[in-house]
Structure formats: structure tokens, C-alpha cells
Chains A and B, each alone.
Chain A
Amino acid sequence: QVQLVESGGGVVQPGRSLRLSCAASGFTFSTYGMHWVRQAPGKGLEWMAGISYDGTSKYYVDSVKGRFTISRDNSKNTLYLQMNSLRVEDTAVYYCAKDSVGSNFGFDYWGQGTLVTVSS
């Protein structure tokens, strides 16, 4: 069965960096686009970044452009989110999510999320 397992969250000071990972299994990782979605405490969902199946196309929400980088290693079935210059407002649960069949049709599987807390 499809599994997405995030890791790498934790408490970090403002201005520091953190790298999240999402280990995928149960499907052919290299053929699906992948995404990061975050949810601040008590708030709604915010799409952060997406990457094409082969890693050649990457997309970001404006608020993280230049600070966050999405990447993938298809040989390791792993998705990454490098987060630099973290801000207090980046505090959230970060989910990785898999494109449904074909891109543009939503996300059919999600990880359980990893909590990132940015605080001094």
C-alpha cells in the first residue's frame, strides 16, 4: 500500500535552516509529481511547493520563493524540502502529498505530517 512518511521536523530558531524528508513506498515514485503542503496551528491548508515526476519542474508559493527548495531523489524514493531563513510564521505541520493519477487532479495520498516549530 502507498505510504508517505515525513521526517526532519523539530524546533529551530528564526533564521536557521531545516531539511524535511518524505520517504515514499508502495507506488512507482519516479512517475508521480509530489508536493509539500503546510498547516499552521489551528489554520487551513497552504500549498507550498510542487515538483514534477522527474524533478525538472518546480513550483513554489510566493511566500517561500528564494527560501525553500523542493527536490527529489528517485533512486531513494524520497522527496525533500530544504527550508532556509526560517521565520516564526513558518511554524506548521508539513505534509508531503502525491499527485493523483495524472497531475492537476489533486493529491490522493498524504503523509502523517511533521511539525516544524520556529521559535527563539
Chain B
Amino acid sequence: EIVLTQSPDTLSLSPGERAILSCRASQSVSSYYLTWYQQKPGQAPRLLIYSASNRATGVPDRFSGSGSGTDFTLTISRLEPEDFAVYYCQQCATSTYNFGQGTKLEIK
């Protein structure tokens, strides 16, 4: 089983700042199969990034993804108030599509 570990657990930043969220896999994952989601309280998750670096439909270009092998990153270039949420990475390389534990992005 591929285990995904996200860091940090909580990130406290101000609007306008840059956010860098990390997702580390216990073994190499093809970048084709690494996905990021955003979840706001009381809502279902929203697909943000697929194949490590491709923005899903309607996702603003301040969101970007990168990485390969075991290390992946979600970057939000300039935080907007609506970006404060929980972010999850997910691997879709194996038949069990597990998630990381999540990073909570909170307003400082």
C-alpha cells in the first residue's frame, strides 16, 4: 500500500501570501496518478489538480501542482480568502485510491 503523508498538518498564512503544501509518498508514484482536492467545511471535496500538475476545469491559475516520484507540491501563489480550507492529496496509481491525511490552511 502506498502511504501519503502531507505536511504541514496546519499552515497559518495571511491573504496575499504564498502557500506551499507537501505530499510525500512511501514509494514512487507516477505523476499521472497524483491528485489534489480542496474541501471547505460542510462541503464535498473539489478536484483541483490531476496528474500532479494539471488544473481541473474552473480552477484559478493561482493553484499549481508539481513534483514527481515520491515528492509532490501544491502551491497557491497568492492566497484569496476563499482558499482557506483543507487540502488532500490522493494517489490513483493502485487499485486502492488512498488519500493523505490533509493539510488545513488557516487564516493567520
Contacts and interface: CB of A to CB of B under 8 A. Distances in A.
Interface of A: 35, 37, 44-47, 50, 59-61, 95, 100, 103-108, 110-113
Contacts of A111: 44
A62 B77 CA distance: 38
Interface residues of B, number: 26
Interface of B: 32-33, 35, 37, 39, 44-47, 50-51, 56-57, 86, 88, 90, 92-93, 95-102
A44 B97 CA distance: 14
Contacts, number: 66
Contact of B35 (A35, A37, A106): A106
A35 B97 CA distance: 9
Given A103-B92, A105-B32, A108-B56, A47 B47 contact: no
Contacts of B51: 105
